Amino acid sequence: MQNNASRQQYAQSLAKRYEAMRAKGESIYLDVGDFDRLIEYYLMENDNDTAAELIDLALSIHPRNEFILLKRVAWLLQTERPQEALALVEQLPQNEDTELMLASVYLALGRKKEALQLFRRNLEMSKGDQSLYCSDVADVLMHYEFYADALAFIKQGLQHNPKDEELYQQAIDVSYLMGDLNACVDYFRRLLDEYPYDAQSWARLGSLYLNMNQLEEAVNALEFANAAASKPELTVCVELGHAYGRLLQYDSAIDAYQQAYDLMEEPHASSLGKGDLAGCLAECYEHKNELDLALSWYYKALEHNPQDDMACVGIAFCLSQQKDYSQAMSYYEKALALNPANKEIWLGIAELLVSIEQYDAAIVAYKQALEGVEDPNLEVLFALANLHFQVGEYQSALEIFLLIKDKNLPMPNLHLCLALCYAMLDQEADAEYYLKLAISDDAKAKQVYEEILKEARQ
Protein backbone atom coordinates (compact mmCIF):
# COMPACT_ATOMS: atom_id res chain seq x y z
CA MET A 1 0.00 0.00 0.00
CA GLN A 2 2.81 2.39 0.78
CA ASN A 3 4.44 1.33 -2.50
CA ASN A 4 1.26 2.34 -4.33
CA ALA A 5 1.27 5.69 -2.54
CA SER A 6 4.92 6.36 -3.40
CA ARG A 7 4.31 5.36 -7.05
CA GLN A 8 1.36 7.75 -7.16
CA GLN A 9 3.45 10.57 -5.67
CA TYR A 10 6.22 9.94 -8.20
CA ALA A 11 3.70 9.98 -11.07
CA GLN A 12 2.24 13.25 -9.77
CA SER A 13 5.70 14.81 -9.61
CA LEU A 14 6.35 13.65 -13.20
CA ALA A 15 3.04 15.18 -14.32
CA LYS A 16 3.89 18.47 -12.63
CA ARG A 17 7.29 18.52 -14.32
CA TYR A 18 5.83 17.60 -17.72
CA GLU A 19 3.14 20.29 -17.56
CA ALA A 20 5.68 22.94 -16.53
CA MET A 21 8.00 22.01 -19.41
CA ARG A 22 5.10 21.95 -21.87
CA ALA A 23 3.91 25.37 -20.69
CA LYS A 24 7.41 26.78 -21.36
CA GLY A 25 7.57 25.08 -24.76
CA GLU A 26 10.63 23.09 -23.72
CA SER A 27 11.48 19.80 -25.43
CA ILE A 28 10.79 16.79 -23.28
CA TYR A 29 12.74 13.56 -23.01
CA LEU A 30 11.82 10.74 -20.63
CA ASP A 31 12.92 7.14 -20.48
CA VAL A 32 10.38 4.40 -21.24
CA GLY A 33 9.65 3.73 -17.56
CA ASP A 34 8.79 7.36 -16.84
CA PHE A 35 6.65 7.64 -19.96
CA ASP A 36 4.86 4.47 -18.89
CA ARG A 37 4.13 5.89 -15.42
CA LEU A 38 3.10 9.28 -16.77
CA ILE A 39 0.69 7.87 -19.37
CA GLU A 40 -0.80 5.57 -16.73
CA TYR A 41 -1.29 8.60 -14.45
CA TYR A 42 -3.26 10.53 -17.08
CA LEU A 43 -5.31 7.45 -17.99
CA MET A 44 -6.21 7.06 -14.31
CA GLU A 45 -7.18 10.74 -14.26
CA ASN A 46 -9.38 10.15 -17.36
CA ASP A 47 -7.38 12.81 -19.20
CA ASN A 48 -7.41 10.90 -22.48
CA ASP A 49 -6.20 13.82 -24.60
CA THR A 50 -3.00 14.29 -22.58
CA ALA A 51 -2.47 10.52 -22.49
CA ALA A 52 -2.75 10.36 -26.30
CA GLU A 53 -0.33 13.28 -26.67
CA LEU A 54 2.19 11.52 -24.42
CA ILE A 55 1.83 8.19 -26.26
CA ASP A 56 2.62 9.93 -29.58
CA LEU A 57 5.56 11.75 -28.02
CA ALA A 58 6.89 8.56 -26.38
CA LEU A 59 6.68 6.61 -29.67
CA SER A 60 8.51 9.38 -31.50
CA ILE A 61 11.40 8.98 -29.03
CA HIS A 62 11.08 5.19 -28.47
CA PRO A 63 9.61 3.84 -31.75
CA ARG A 64 7.66 0.56 -31.58
CA ASN A 65 8.40 0.18 -27.88
CA GLU A 66 6.21 -2.62 -26.56
CA PHE A 67 5.38 -0.95 -23.22
CA ILE A 68 4.26 2.26 -24.91
CA LEU A 69 2.23 0.34 -27.49
CA LEU A 70 0.51 -1.50 -24.65
CA LYS A 71 -0.38 1.90 -23.24
CA ARG A 72 -1.93 2.77 -26.61
CA VAL A 73 -4.01 -0.41 -26.35
CA ALA A 74 -5.11 0.68 -22.87
CA TRP A 75 -5.96 4.13 -24.25
CA LEU A 76 -8.01 2.57 -27.07
CA LEU A 77 -9.94 0.51 -24.51
CA GLN A 78 -10.57 3.56 -22.35
CA THR A 79 -11.83 5.50 -25.35
CA GLU A 80 -14.15 2.59 -26.22
CA ARG A 81 -12.40 1.31 -29.34
CA PRO A 82 -11.91 -2.37 -28.46
CA GLN A 83 -11.69 -3.60 -32.09
CA GLU A 84 -8.77 -1.23 -32.77
CA ALA A 85 -7.22 -2.35 -29.48
CA LEU A 86 -7.53 -5.98 -30.56
CA ALA A 87 -5.92 -5.29 -33.93
CA LEU A 88 -2.97 -3.57 -32.26
CA VAL A 89 -2.38 -6.03 -29.42
CA GLU A 90 -2.43 -8.98 -31.82
CA GLN A 91 0.55 -7.44 -33.64
CA LEU A 92 2.70 -7.44 -30.49
CA PRO A 93 5.03 -10.26 -29.42
CA GLN A 94 3.33 -12.82 -27.19
CA ASN A 95 4.40 -12.59 -23.57
CA GLU A 96 2.78 -12.26 -20.16
CA ASP A 97 2.18 -8.49 -20.47
CA THR A 98 0.72 -8.55 -23.97
CA GLU A 99 -1.50 -11.54 -23.20
CA LEU A 100 -2.78 -9.84 -20.04
CA MET A 101 -3.76 -6.91 -22.23
CA LEU A 102 -5.24 -9.26 -24.87
CA ALA A 103 -7.44 -10.81 -22.16
CA SER A 104 -8.54 -7.29 -21.16
CA VAL A 105 -9.53 -6.64 -24.77
CA TYR A 106 -11.48 -9.90 -24.84
CA LEU A 107 -13.41 -8.76 -21.76
CA ALA A 108 -14.17 -5.41 -23.42
CA LEU A 109 -15.51 -7.34 -26.43
CA GLY A 110 -17.70 -9.55 -24.23
CA ARG A 111 -15.48 -12.62 -24.75
CA LYS A 112 -15.18 -13.47 -21.07
CA LYS A 113 -14.64 -17.23 -21.53
CA GLU A 114 -11.61 -16.66 -23.77
CA ALA A 115 -10.23 -14.05 -21.36
CA LEU A 116 -10.47 -16.41 -18.37
CA GLN A 117 -8.84 -19.23 -20.34
CA LEU A 118 -5.96 -16.92 -21.24
CA PHE A 119 -5.58 -15.72 -17.64
CA ARG A 120 -5.49 -19.30 -16.32
CA ARG A 121 -3.10 -20.56 -18.99
CA ASN A 122 -0.66 -17.73 -18.35
CA LEU A 123 -0.86 -18.27 -14.60
CA GLU A 124 0.07 -21.94 -15.07
CA MET A 125 2.97 -21.02 -17.38
CA SER A 126 4.16 -18.03 -15.37
CA LYS A 127 7.76 -18.17 -14.24
CA GLY A 128 7.63 -14.92 -12.37
CA ASP A 129 5.80 -13.74 -9.25
CA GLN A 130 2.46 -15.55 -9.48
CA SER A 131 0.93 -13.48 -6.69
CA LEU A 132 1.70 -10.31 -8.67
CA TYR A 133 0.14 -11.82 -11.81
CA CYS A 134 -2.99 -12.77 -9.83
CA SER A 135 -3.18 -9.21 -8.54
CA ASP A 136 -2.94 -7.81 -12.08
CA VAL A 137 -5.66 -10.19 -13.29
CA ALA A 138 -7.89 -9.27 -10.36
CA ASP A 139 -7.53 -5.57 -11.23
CA VAL A 140 -8.68 -6.25 -14.79
CA LEU A 141 -11.62 -8.40 -13.71
CA MET A 142 -12.71 -5.87 -11.08
CA HIS A 143 -12.65 -3.15 -13.73
CA TYR A 144 -15.24 -5.15 -15.70
CA GLU A 145 -17.16 -5.97 -12.48
CA PHE A 146 -16.48 -9.72 -12.57
CA TYR A 147 -16.02 -9.74 -8.83
CA ALA A 148 -16.37 -13.46 -8.11
CA ASP A 149 -13.77 -14.30 -10.78
CA ALA A 150 -11.47 -11.60 -9.42
CA LEU A 151 -11.76 -13.05 -5.91
CA ALA A 152 -10.87 -16.52 -7.19
CA PHE A 153 -7.58 -15.18 -8.61
CA ILE A 154 -6.92 -13.18 -5.43
CA LYS A 155 -7.29 -16.36 -3.37
CA GLN A 156 -4.85 -18.13 -5.67
CA GLY A 157 -2.41 -15.28 -5.27
CA LEU A 158 -2.63 -15.47 -1.48
CA GLN A 159 -1.84 -19.18 -1.65
CA HIS A 160 1.41 -18.25 -3.41
CA ASN A 161 2.15 -15.33 -1.07
CA PRO A 162 0.14 -15.14 2.18
CA LYS A 163 1.89 -11.87 3.10
CA ASP A 164 0.95 -9.88 -0.02
CA GLU A 165 -0.60 -6.60 1.22
CA GLU A 166 -1.93 -5.61 -2.19
CA LEU A 167 -3.84 -8.90 -2.56
CA TYR A 168 -5.41 -8.49 0.87
CA GLN A 169 -6.53 -4.97 -0.03
CA GLN A 170 -8.01 -6.24 -3.29
CA ALA A 171 -9.78 -9.05 -1.40
CA ILE A 172 -11.26 -6.46 0.97
CA ASP A 173 -12.37 -4.20 -1.88
CA VAL A 174 -13.93 -6.96 -3.96
CA SER A 175 -15.68 -8.51 -0.93
CA TYR A 176 -17.13 -5.07 -0.14
CA LEU A 177 -18.33 -4.66 -3.73
CA MET A 178 -19.97 -8.10 -3.48
CA GLY A 179 -21.72 -7.01 -0.28
CA ASP A 180 -19.90 -9.59 1.88
CA LEU A 181 -18.88 -7.39 4.81
CA ASN A 182 -18.02 -10.34 7.04
CA ALA A 183 -15.48 -11.48 4.43
CA CYS A 184 -14.07 -7.92 4.45
CA VAL A 185 -13.55 -8.17 8.19
CA ASP A 186 -11.92 -11.59 7.82
CA TYR A 187 -9.43 -10.29 5.21
CA PHE A 188 -8.66 -7.25 7.35
CA ARG A 189 -7.95 -9.54 10.29
CA ARG A 190 -5.64 -11.73 8.21
CA LEU A 191 -3.84 -8.66 6.88
CA LEU A 192 -3.42 -7.22 10.37
CA ASP A 193 -2.11 -10.53 11.67
CA GLU A 194 0.72 -10.07 9.17
CA TYR A 195 1.08 -6.29 9.61
CA PRO A 196 -0.21 -5.42 13.12
CA TYR A 197 1.10 -1.83 13.05
CA ASP A 198 -0.59 -0.86 9.79
CA ALA A 199 -2.48 2.23 10.98
CA GLN A 200 -4.30 2.73 7.68
CA SER A 201 -5.76 -0.79 7.72
CA TRP A 202 -6.85 -0.43 11.36
CA ALA A 203 -8.58 2.82 10.37
CA ARG A 204 -10.36 1.20 7.42
CA LEU A 205 -11.43 -1.74 9.59
CA GLY A 206 -12.79 0.66 12.19
CA SER A 207 -14.75 2.52 9.54
CA LEU A 208 -16.15 -0.77 8.28
CA TYR A 209 -17.21 -1.84 11.78
CA LEU A 210 -18.88 1.57 12.21
CA ASN A 211 -20.88 1.04 9.01
CA MET A 212 -21.84 -2.42 10.27
CA ASN A 213 -22.95 -0.85 13.57
CA GLN A 214 -20.50 -3.05 15.48
CA LEU A 215 -19.60 -0.15 17.70
CA GLU A 216 -17.33 -1.74 20.33
CA GLU A 217 -15.25 -3.34 17.57
CA ALA A 218 -15.16 0.00 15.73
CA VAL A 219 -13.84 1.78 18.82
CA ASN A 220 -11.14 -0.84 19.36
CA ALA A 221 -9.96 -0.74 15.73
CA LEU A 222 -9.97 3.07 15.57
CA GLU A 223 -8.07 3.36 18.86
CA PHE A 224 -5.50 0.92 17.45
CA ALA A 225 -5.29 3.08 14.30
CA ASN A 226 -4.42 6.18 16.31
CA ALA A 227 -1.98 4.23 18.50
CA ALA A 228 -0.19 2.80 15.44
CA ALA A 229 0.01 6.14 13.63
CA SER A 230 2.80 8.62 14.22
CA LYS A 231 0.15 11.16 15.24
CA PRO A 232 -3.68 11.14 15.57
CA GLU A 233 -5.44 11.25 12.22
CA LEU A 234 -8.39 13.58 11.68
CA THR A 235 -10.81 11.11 10.07
CA VAL A 236 -10.05 8.48 12.71
CA CYS A 237 -10.82 10.96 15.51
CA VAL A 238 -14.11 11.93 13.84
CA GLU A 239 -15.19 8.31 13.45
CA LEU A 240 -14.17 7.58 17.04
CA GLY A 241 -16.47 10.41 18.07
CA HIS A 242 -19.31 8.92 16.05
CA ALA A 243 -18.74 5.44 17.52
CA TYR A 244 -18.54 6.63 21.12
CA GLY A 245 -21.58 8.87 20.58
CA ARG A 246 -23.67 5.97 19.28
CA LEU A 247 -22.53 3.97 22.31
CA LEU A 248 -23.85 6.86 24.46
CA GLN A 249 -20.34 7.29 25.86
CA TYR A 250 -20.49 11.04 25.53
CA ASP A 251 -17.36 11.95 27.50
CA SER A 252 -15.20 9.79 25.22
CA ALA A 253 -17.06 11.15 22.17
CA ILE A 254 -16.32 14.69 23.32
CA ASP A 255 -12.61 13.89 23.70
CA ALA A 256 -12.47 12.44 20.18
CA TYR A 257 -14.44 15.28 18.55
CA GLN A 258 -12.37 17.89 20.42
CA GLN A 259 -9.18 16.28 19.15
CA ALA A 260 -10.55 16.29 15.59
CA TYR A 261 -11.65 19.92 15.97
CA ASP A 262 -8.16 20.92 17.13
CA LEU A 263 -6.55 18.96 14.27
CA MET A 264 -8.67 20.53 11.57
CA GLU A 265 -7.60 23.69 9.88
CA GLU A 266 -9.92 25.76 7.74
CA PRO A 267 -10.42 25.43 4.85
CA HIS A 268 -10.24 21.64 4.93
CA ALA A 269 -10.87 19.22 2.07
CA SER A 270 -13.37 17.14 4.00
CA SER A 271 -17.08 16.49 4.03
CA LEU A 272 -16.92 17.67 7.64
CA GLY A 273 -15.90 21.20 8.50
CA LYS A 274 -15.14 22.77 11.87
CA GLY A 275 -18.77 23.86 12.07
CA ASP A 276 -19.93 20.25 11.74
CA LEU A 277 -17.54 19.14 14.48
CA ALA A 278 -18.72 21.98 16.70
CA GLY A 279 -22.26 20.70 16.11
CA CYS A 280 -21.19 17.17 17.09
CA LEU A 281 -19.66 18.50 20.31
CA ALA A 282 -22.80 20.51 21.03
CA GLU A 283 -25.00 17.44 20.63
CA CYS A 284 -22.85 15.45 23.06
CA TYR A 285 -23.11 18.18 25.70
CA GLU A 286 -26.84 18.41 25.03
CA HIS A 287 -27.20 14.66 25.69
CA LYS A 288 -25.28 15.16 28.95
CA ASN A 289 -27.78 17.95 29.79
CA GLU A 290 -24.89 20.42 30.05
CA LEU A 291 -26.88 23.04 28.21
CA ASP A 292 -24.56 26.02 28.65
CA LEU A 293 -21.68 24.09 27.08
CA ALA A 294 -24.02 22.78 24.38
CA LEU A 295 -25.10 26.33 23.60
CA SER A 296 -21.51 27.58 23.40
CA TRP A 297 -20.69 24.91 20.79
CA TYR A 298 -23.90 25.48 18.82
CA TYR A 299 -23.06 29.20 18.69
CA LYS A 300 -19.56 28.25 17.49
CA ALA A 301 -21.07 25.99 14.81
CA LEU A 302 -23.20 28.89 13.63
CA GLU A 303 -20.15 31.16 13.64
CA HIS A 304 -18.32 28.70 11.35
CA ASN A 305 -21.37 28.31 9.11
CA PRO A 306 -24.05 31.03 9.36
CA GLN A 307 -26.30 28.93 7.04
CA ASP A 308 -26.42 25.98 9.45
CA ASP A 309 -30.13 25.57 10.18
CA MET A 310 -29.52 22.59 12.49
CA ALA A 311 -27.23 24.71 14.70
CA CYS A 312 -30.14 27.14 15.02
CA VAL A 313 -32.43 24.23 15.94
CA GLY A 314 -29.93 23.08 18.58
CA ILE A 315 -29.71 26.57 20.07
CA ALA A 316 -33.50 26.86 20.09
CA PHE A 317 -33.90 23.49 21.82
CA CYS A 318 -31.39 24.34 24.56
CA LEU A 319 -32.97 27.75 25.14
CA SER A 320 -36.38 26.11 25.29
CA GLN A 321 -35.09 23.65 27.92
CA GLN A 322 -33.87 26.67 29.89
CA LYS A 323 -37.38 28.15 29.52
CA ASP A 324 -36.15 31.11 27.46
CA TYR A 325 -39.05 30.57 25.06
CA SER A 326 -38.94 33.94 23.30
CA GLN A 327 -35.28 33.58 22.32
CA ALA A 328 -35.83 29.93 21.44
CA MET A 329 -38.64 30.83 19.05
CA SER A 330 -36.45 33.45 17.37
CA TYR A 331 -33.85 30.77 16.57
CA TYR A 332 -36.53 28.37 15.28
CA GLU A 333 -37.72 31.16 12.99
CA LYS A 334 -34.14 31.78 11.84
CA ALA A 335 -33.75 28.05 11.10
CA LEU A 336 -37.01 28.07 9.14
CA ALA A 337 -35.82 31.02 7.05
CA LEU A 338 -32.61 29.11 6.26
CA ASN A 339 -34.34 25.83 5.40
CA PRO A 340 -38.14 25.89 5.07
CA ALA A 341 -38.18 22.21 4.01
CA ASN A 342 -36.66 20.98 7.30
CA LYS A 343 -39.56 19.27 9.10
CA GLU A 344 -37.54 18.97 12.31
CA ILE A 345 -37.85 22.73 12.77
CA TRP A 346 -41.64 22.51 12.85
CA LEU A 347 -41.41 19.71 15.42
CA GLY A 348 -39.30 21.91 17.67
CA ILE A 349 -41.75 24.77 17.24
CA ALA A 350 -44.69 22.48 18.07
CA GLU A 351 -43.01 21.17 21.23
CA LEU A 352 -42.17 24.72 22.33
CA LEU A 353 -45.78 25.82 21.79
CA VAL A 354 -47.04 22.88 23.84
CA SER A 355 -44.65 23.93 26.63
CA ILE A 356 -46.27 27.39 26.76
CA GLU A 357 -49.77 25.87 26.37
CA GLN A 358 -50.48 27.39 22.96
CA TYR A 359 -52.20 24.20 21.84
CA ASP A 360 -54.00 25.46 18.74
CA ALA A 361 -50.77 26.91 17.34
CA ALA A 362 -48.96 23.68 18.30
CA ILE A 363 -51.49 21.66 16.27
CA VAL A 364 -50.79 23.84 13.24
CA ALA A 365 -47.04 23.34 13.72
CA TYR A 366 -47.39 19.54 14.00
CA LYS A 367 -49.45 19.51 10.80
CA GLN A 368 -46.71 21.49 9.06
CA ALA A 369 -44.21 18.89 10.25
CA LEU A 370 -46.32 16.13 8.70
CA GLU A 371 -47.25 17.89 5.46
CA GLY A 372 -45.94 16.09 2.38
CA VAL A 373 -44.34 13.28 4.41
CA GLU A 374 -45.10 9.86 2.87
CA ASP A 375 -44.16 7.82 5.94
CA PRO A 376 -45.04 9.98 8.94
CA ASN A 377 -43.23 9.39 12.22
CA LEU A 378 -45.32 7.51 14.80
CA GLU A 379 -44.26 9.78 17.67
CA VAL A 380 -45.33 12.87 15.74
CA LEU A 381 -48.68 11.32 14.81
CA PHE A 382 -49.30 10.32 18.42
CA ALA A 383 -48.33 13.77 19.72
CA LEU A 384 -50.76 15.43 17.29
CA ALA A 385 -53.58 12.98 18.04
CA ASN A 386 -53.05 13.40 21.78
CA LEU A 387 -53.12 17.18 21.39
CA HIS A 388 -56.42 17.01 19.43
CA PHE A 389 -57.87 14.86 22.23
CA GLN A 390 -56.58 17.25 24.87
CA VAL A 391 -58.36 20.26 23.27
CA GLY A 392 -61.57 18.28 22.71
CA GLU A 393 -61.20 17.63 18.97
CA TYR A 394 -62.05 13.95 19.31
CA GLN A 395 -62.95 13.30 15.67
CA SER A 396 -59.56 14.63 14.52
CA ALA A 397 -57.82 12.52 17.17
CA LEU A 398 -59.77 9.44 16.05
CA GLU A 399 -58.82 9.94 12.40
CA ILE A 400 -55.11 10.00 13.29
CA PHE A 401 -55.36 6.91 15.50
CA LEU A 402 -57.18 5.08 12.69
CA LEU A 403 -54.39 6.15 10.30
CA ILE A 404 -51.85 4.66 12.72
CA LYS A 405 -53.92 1.46 12.79
CA ASP A 406 -54.20 1.30 8.97
CA LYS A 407 -50.44 1.76 8.59
CA ASN A 408 -49.80 -1.02 11.13
CA LEU A 409 -47.48 1.24 13.10
CA PRO A 410 -46.35 -0.38 16.37
CA MET A 411 -48.08 1.97 18.82
CA PRO A 412 -48.63 0.75 22.39
CA ASN A 413 -52.15 1.28 23.80
CA LEU A 414 -53.61 2.05 20.37
CA HIS A 415 -56.79 0.10 21.16
CA LEU A 416 -57.22 2.08 24.37
CA CYS A 417 -56.83 5.39 22.51
CA LEU A 418 -59.42 4.32 19.92
CA ALA A 419 -61.82 3.27 22.68
CA LEU A 420 -61.47 6.65 24.38
CA CYS A 421 -62.08 8.59 21.15
CA TYR A 422 -65.19 6.56 20.30
CA ALA A 423 -66.47 6.99 23.85
CA MET A 424 -66.05 10.80 23.70
CA LEU A 425 -67.91 10.76 20.36
CA ASP A 426 -70.72 8.72 22.01
CA GLN A 427 -70.13 5.78 19.67
CA GLU A 428 -70.57 3.23 22.44
CA ALA A 429 -70.47 0.02 20.36
CA ASP A 430 -67.12 0.91 18.84
CA ALA A 431 -65.84 2.11 22.22
CA GLU A 432 -66.79 -1.20 23.84
CA TYR A 433 -65.21 -3.21 21.00
CA TYR A 434 -61.84 -1.47 21.28
CA LEU A 435 -61.94 -1.46 25.07
CA LYS A 436 -62.18 -5.28 25.02
CA LEU A 437 -59.14 -5.38 22.72
CA ALA A 438 -57.32 -2.97 25.04
CA ILE A 439 -58.05 -5.16 28.07
CA SER A 440 -56.73 -8.19 26.20
CA ASP A 441 -53.54 -6.14 25.59
CA ASP A 442 -53.28 -5.02 29.22
CA ALA A 443 -55.46 -6.03 32.17
CA LYS A 444 -55.16 -2.53 33.67
CA ALA A 445 -56.60 -0.88 30.54
CA LYS A 446 -60.16 -0.60 31.92
CA GLN A 447 -59.01 1.29 35.01
CA VAL A 448 -56.95 3.69 32.89
CA TYR A 449 -59.88 4.07 30.45
CA GLU A 450 -62.29 5.04 33.23
CA GLU A 451 -59.86 7.52 34.80
CA ILE A 452 -59.14 9.32 31.50
CA LEU A 453 -62.81 9.30 30.52
CA LYS A 454 -63.83 10.79 33.86
CA GLU A 455 -61.23 13.55 33.56
CA ALA A 456 -62.13 14.30 29.91
CA ARG A 457 -65.85 14.62 30.67
CA GLN A 458 -65.45 17.02 33.55
C-alpha dihedral sign at 315, 317, 318, 323: positive
> Domains along the chain?
307-373 (1.25.40.10), 386-458 (no CATH)
Tell me how far apart the alpha carbons of residues 314 and 321 are, in angstroms, rounded to a whole number.
11
One DSSP character per residue, 9-39 reads: HHHHHHHHHHHHHHHHT------HHHHHHHH
Tell me how far apart the alpha carbons of residues 123 and 152 are, in angstroms, rounded to a whole number.
13
Tell me how far apart the alpha carbons of residues 115 and 101 are, in angstroms, rounded to a whole number.
10
Helix (H) or strand (E) holding 159: helix 147-160
**CB pairs under 8 A, 24+ apart, for 424-431?**
424/389, 424/394, 424/453, 424/456, 424/457, 425/394, 425/395, 425/398
The pLDDT profile of the chain, 458 residues, written as one tens digit per residue, is: 445 667 788 888 989 988 888 888 888 888 999 999 999 999 999 999 999 999 999 999 999 999 999 999 999 999 999 999 999 999 999 888 899 999 999 999 999 999 999 999 988 887 778 999 999 999 999 999 999 999 999 999 999 999 999 999 999 999 999 999 999 999 999 999 999 999 999 999 999 999 999 999 999 999 999 999 999 999 999 999 999 999 999 999 999 999 999 998 755 544 468 899 999 999 999 999 999 999 999 999 999 999 999 999 999 999 999 999 999 999 999 999 999 999 999 999 999 999 999 999 999 999 999 998 888 899 999 999 999 999 999 999 999 999 999 999 999 999 999 999 999 999 999 999 999 999 999 999 999 999 999 998 87
Reported pTM: 0.81
- Exposed, middle or buried: residue 20 (CB in 10 Å: 0-12, 13-18, 19+)? exposed
